[in-house]
Amino acid sequence: MAERFVKVYTRFNRIWHWSQVASIFLLLFTGARMMGMHQIGPFGLAVTVHTLVALALLLLWAFATFWLFTTEAWKQFIPTQNGLRQVIRFYVWGVFRGEPHPYRKQYQRRHNPLQLLSYLALKLVLFPAIWMTGLAYLTYGFWGHLDTSAVWLTVIANLHTIAAFAIASFVVVHVYLLTIGHGFREHVRPMITGFEKVDVSPEAEAYFAAEKPERLKV
């Protein structure tokens, strides 16, 4: 294995990522306005923006899921316990002592075991929770007559809020972890340029050099 700068994030990867970032921040901001946590902007505008952005993001997630499975990029997110304890120890203890990160990124395995578990929880628990409760709340006019005392509406609203705060917590931790190691700029740059330094086998390097030289950065 040798470290090489390889284009691991396609244009769609980057568009998807930054569109998702902008959408989540807009949803958190407008959601906070609807909850009365700040008074910036009209309430009605916040509701409209929140609804439109949520539907657009849901469409983006559906398309991204289709893309992940058709390109087999979903394999990047298969969780593993291999090296999990070492990575947890690094973030709890080693990072404060200047120890090197125990995980070396590979072209076919860019995410460390802790990241994989976090993304799995995000995609299988938090995102579905925010989708289902949001859609249920949005379509309350169609089934509200079945909820005469508004008990289910209250439950759905509370679950939606809890899921939103959980996603906000994930964002805070995610941004914090970007400051660890090589620094914020070095962590963010790959999602802008597409190129990241990863371990590549001699066979893979030879393949890139012969078939896809544009994916190798000299």
Cα atoms in the Cβ-side hemisphere of radius 13 Å centred on 195: 11
Q: What is the pLDDT of residue 134?
A: 95
State residue 171's pLDDT score. Answer: 93
pLDDT at 218: 66
Euclidean distance between CA atoms 136 and 117, whole angstroms = 28
Q: What is the pTM of this model?
A: 0.86
The pLDDT score that the predictor gives to residue 211 is 78
Compute the distance between CA of residue 106 and CA of residue 41 in angstroms, rounded to an integer: 45
Answer for the pair 169, 77: CB distance below 8 angstroms, yes or no. Answer: no
* Segments in the chain below pLDDT 50: none
Helices (H) and strands (E) in the chain, counts: 10, 3
pLDDT score for 167: 95
